[in-house]
Amino acid sequence: MKSFEKKVIIISNRDLKHGRFILSFSDKQIAGAASPGQFLMVKVSRGLFPLLRRPFSIHNCSGKDGRIDVLYEVKGPGSRLLSQYPPGRVLEVVGPLGNGFSLPEKGRGVILVAGGMGAAPLFFLASRLAAERSKRRIYALLGACGKNRLCRPAEFTAAGCSVKLSTDDGSCGSAGYVSGLLDSFLNSPGIIPSAYVIYACGPRPMLQATAFVAGKFGVPGYCSLEAHMACGIGACMGCVIPVRSEGGREAYKRVCHDGPVFSLQEPDWGKM
Amino acid sequence: MSRIRTEVRIGRMMLRTPVTVASGTFGYASEFSGFFDLRILGAVTTKTVTLKPRRGNVPPRTCETPAGMLNSVGLENPGIDVFLKEKMPFLAGYKVPVIVSIASESDNREFIELARRLDHCREAAAIELNISCPNIRHTTARPGTSLIAQDAGATYRLVKAVRAVTKKTIITKLSPNVTDIVSIAAAAEEAGSDAVALINTITGMSIDASSRKSRIGAVIGGLSGPAIRPVAVRMVWEVSRRVSIPVIGMGGICDTDSALEFLLAGASAVAVGTGNFLSPSLADEIVKGIREYMRENRFGSVSMLRKGMKYAR
């Protein structure tokens, strides 16, 4: 696994409305090494505030020129600064970092489960799987608190996914959490849960609920976690989560270096 | 101009360049080996290791603060056995001196045992006594203090005891959380420490007004980054004038100029800490930058640079 520290030039930094942006740049080395689920550490300031780089998952990699898309939401001063950067500006990035998703075995159906912005890394996975040109079934279960917060359903459809939506307020798709949507999907006639694998990303309570549903149906799966990070490369031990290790012993793992992708059953959700 | 000599001697250890890294900010070096050639460093300082594995503190362990960050990692490490078996072999392949940082949370015996073990380890060039980590509590310090490095007597006794069991270069890492750091440095020197390293983090806190909770799990943490640099430079300047052993200066170095501040204040070498998180190849940039500065300003050696500060306006 090779990572690079590069200065890249912003190609575009498009406002998708509702506080979301999609930033693009080209780097053949980073794109060539990147796999779905990995992330980048991006320097968002020129000076000392904010001091630390910000981790962003890779939303997509495409084309011969190594184009990389980063989908992000303005949440604080770091992402706000990033959203103001025009095309042509130099951006310092380190990546790709972390362990990506283990790709599904041949023929196994895929269920992507996204809570809000959790769709960001799952889209890269969807487009990689679409490039296989196999007959694999790929479902994308996208959830959000309301209609405006649903993340890129049209793009998932265009990437060959069967898209199902849920919103907490019922403004679009089925009403309720996306974990509930997953539950009813796995219960629906003709679906054999053991023939699928789940890839999930979103807020921690949503992932915990997804892990519970996956466990209930005996479906294997993975989740990609988000964390505040200082270094992003496994050195500072700052971004740890509690995990259930063999023998029930409590242990910590680094989201940046041991993750950000974990088996759904590995995090000790009750202690997070 | 004749050749620029960037070598520095610290105890029995020869550093090719006056730049190392701060323990706990560089992992076990393998994390950084893909970003630059580690051999450019004067030495690698490894994450503090203890006798037994330590799980570390409850997350969240870091938070960003103005021009700095707080951490309450709590010395998570796999213990000396795993360190020697799994981490040291990688470092041995690099032909760069390795400073092994050690700590104990109980008493001096653990430090002594660790030093004994490392005394037999050919790959360890020096031992850093981390007596200043604010995230663990010591039982040997006198009441009212929690760190050995907050007590000149405790510092003297520990360094003396470790000195008795090893010929390796000993570097004592000092805390800024004291009234008079010079007296602690002097105690380390008197007890036989080959060098002092300063500063460790400054204790600090940050509270999130919306949740009304501390932003880090352990409530109190250690502040690092450019925010603490003026404090560190002042302490390095004071200590350098009062002790005769080399000083390794650190605290908020994030570019060549900030590294030069420490050398001009009297440090024999500098360590890049939180800066490693800002850019994984920062230490490489600083090594080259110092060399360039020495050439441009006609400093033939680091010892000349150390005496290069001007006072008259």
The confidence score (pLDDT) of residue B145 equals 58
Residue A249 has pLDDT above 90, yes or no: no
Diameter of chain B by CA atoms?
61
pLDDT bucket at B312, cuts 50 / 70 / 90: confident
pLDDT tens-digit map of A187-227: 999 899 999 999 999 999 999 999 999 999 999 999 999 99
pLDDT tens-digit map of B158-168: 999 999 999 99
Residues 121-180 of B with CB under 8 A from A: none
Which residue of chain B has the CA closest to A92?
B279
Q: Give the closest of A233, A237, A250 to B61, CB-based.
A: A237
d(CA B107, CA A140): 56
d(CA B102, CA B63): 25
| Chain A positions in Cβ-Cβ contact with residue B47 (cut-off 8 Å) | 235, 237
- Residues 6 or more apart whose Cβ sits within 8 Å of residue A249: none
Closest-CA distance of chain B to residue A240, Å: 6
Which residue of chain A has the CA closest to B225?
A51
* Omega before residue B202 within 30° of 0, cis: no
The confidence score (pLDDT) of residue A58 equals 98
| Chain B positions in Cβ-Cβ contact with residue A232 (cut-off 8 Å) | 277
pLDDT tens-digit map of A58-112: 999 988 899 999 999 999 999 999 999 999 999 999 999 999 999 999 889 999 9
Locate A152 and state its tokens.
């890129």
Could you give the 3-state DSSP secondary structure of residue A267?
strand
Inter-chain touch A236–B62, beta carbons under 8 Å: yes
| Chain B positions in Cβ-Cβ contact with residue A231 (cut-off 8 Å) | 25, 31, 276-277, 280
Q: For residue A61, which amino acid is it?
A: C
What's the fold here for domain A4-97?
Answer: Elongation Factor Tu (Ef-tu); domain 3 (2.40.30)
Residues of B marked active site are found at: 133
Inter-chain touch B25–A235, beta carbons under 8 Å: yes
| Chain A positions in Cβ-Cβ contact with residue B35 (cut-off 8 Å) | 3, 5, 94
CB contact, 8 Å: A49 with chain B? yes
CATH number 3.40.50.80 given to A109-271: yes
pLDDT tens-digit map of B147-187: 999 999 999 999 999 999 999 999 999 999 999 999 999 99
The confidence score (pLDDT) of residue B73 equals 94
Which residue of chain B has the CA closest to A234?
B31
The confidence score (pLDDT) of residue A107 equals 87
CB atoms under 10 Å from CB of A103, counted, come to 17
Residue B2 has pLDDT above 90, yes or no: no
Q: How is chain A split into domains, by residue range?
A: 4-97, 109-271
The confidence score (pLDDT) of residue B143 equals 52
Inter-chain touch B76–A240, beta carbons under 8 Å: yes
Which residue of chain B has the CA closest to A95?
B35
- Residues 6 or more apart whose Cβ sits within 8 Å of residue A189: none
Residue B108 is inside which H or E element, if any? Answer: helix B108-119
We find that the CATH architecture of domain B8-57+73-203+227-306 is Alpha-Beta Barrel (3.20)
Residues 221-250 of A with CB under 8 A from B: 228-242, 250
CB contact, 8 Å: B101 with chain A? no
The confidence score (pLDDT) of residue B142 equals 53
Q: In what order do the strands lie in the sheet with B44-45?
A: B19-21, B269-272, B247-249, B195-198, B169-173, B124-130, B98-102, B44-45
pLDDT bucket at B138, cuts 50 / 70 / 90: low
State the helix-helix crossing angle for B152-163 and B181-190, rounded to 10 degrees.
20
Which residue of chain B has the CA closest to A44?
B278
CA angle B247, B248, B250 (to 5 degrees): 130
State the helix-helix crossing angle for A204-217 and A178-187, rounded to 10 degrees.
10
Residue B313 has pLDDT above 80, yes or no: no
Inter-chain touch A52–B278, beta carbons under 8 Å: yes
d(CA B139, CA B47): 22
Closest-CA distance of chain B to residue A238, Å: 5
Q: Where does B120-194 have alpha helices with state H? A: 152-163, 181-190
Could you give the 3-state DSSP secondary structure of residue B217?
coil
Closest-CA distance of chain B to residue A262, Å: 18
d(CA B169, CA B128): 8
d(CA B63, CA A228): 8
For A76-105, the DSSP string reads SHHHHHHHTPPTT-EEEEEEEESB-PPPPP
Judging by beta carbons within 10 Å of its beta carbon (0-12, 13-18, 19+), is residue B311 exposed, middle or buried? exposed
**DSSP code of residue A193:** G
Q: Give the closest of B60, B68, B277 to A231, CB-based.
A: B277
Q: How is chain B split into domains, by residue range?
A: 8-57+73-203+227-306
| Chain A positions in Cβ-Cβ contact with residue B24 (cut-off 8 Å) | 236-237
d(CA B22, CA A136): 50
Locate B5 and state its tokens.
């000599």
Provide the sign of the torsion angle of the four alpha carbons A26, A28, A30, A33, taken in this order: positive
If phi > 0 it is left, if psi is from -120 to 50 it is alpha, else beta; for residue A210 that is: alpha
Inter-chain touch A228–B35, beta carbons under 8 Å: no
d(CA B42, CA B284): 11
Supply the mean pLDDT for chain A.
95
